């Protein structure tokens, strides 16, 4: 089983180290950069996993609509923050896929 949290931290740390080697002026704060990259990598994991499952289940259009709607709602209501990136990815993917039957009914009427 892949430990997503360790993967996210590992990728963010490697990316941070690479960016800091390019920072000639030494103006980048390592902690802030690494935290921001963890969020970006975690978001990428959600997108990658959700779209991967949508291709397997042949529900790409409905999934894309669901991702847009749920993503917009999370931005507008300030989201729901969980204790770990593993739970965040699982929660987000499950939330999107539980909305698919409702989105499928709406899109099939068009």
Digit-by-digit pLDDT tens for the chain (110 residues) are: 467 778 888 888 999 999 999 888 888 888 989 989 988 888 888 888 888 888 888 888 888 888 888 878 877 887 667 777 777 778 788 888 887 777 776 666 55
Number of independent structural domains in the chain: 1
Residues 6+ apart with CB under 8 A from 94: none
Please name the helix (run of DSSP H) or strand (run of DSSP E) that holds residue 33, with its range, or none: helix 30-56
Please name the helix (run of DSSP H) or strand (run of DSSP E) that holds residue 19, with its range, or none: helix 4-22
> What range does the domain containing 70 cover?
4-108
User: Measured between alpha carbons, how far is 56 from 81 in angstroms, rounded to an integer?
Assistant: 28
Supply the pLDDT for residue 2.
Answer: 62
Q: How many residues are listed for the chain in this entry?
A: 110
CB atoms within 10 A of CB 70: 16
């Amino acid at each position: 089983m892949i430990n997503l949290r360790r993967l996210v931290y590992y990728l963010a740390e490697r990316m941070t180290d690479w960016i800091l080697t390019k920072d000639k002026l030494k103006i980048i704060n390592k902690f802030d950069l690494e935290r921001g990259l963890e969020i970006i990598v975690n978001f990428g994991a959600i997108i990658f996993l959700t779209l991967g499952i949508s291709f397997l289940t042949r529900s790409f259009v409905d999934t894309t609509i669901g991702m847009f709607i749920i993503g917009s709602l999370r931005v507008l209501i300030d989201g729901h923050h969980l204790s770990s990136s593993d739970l965040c990815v699982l929660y987000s993917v499950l939330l999107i896929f539980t909305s698919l039957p409702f989105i499928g009914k709406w899109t099939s009427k068009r």
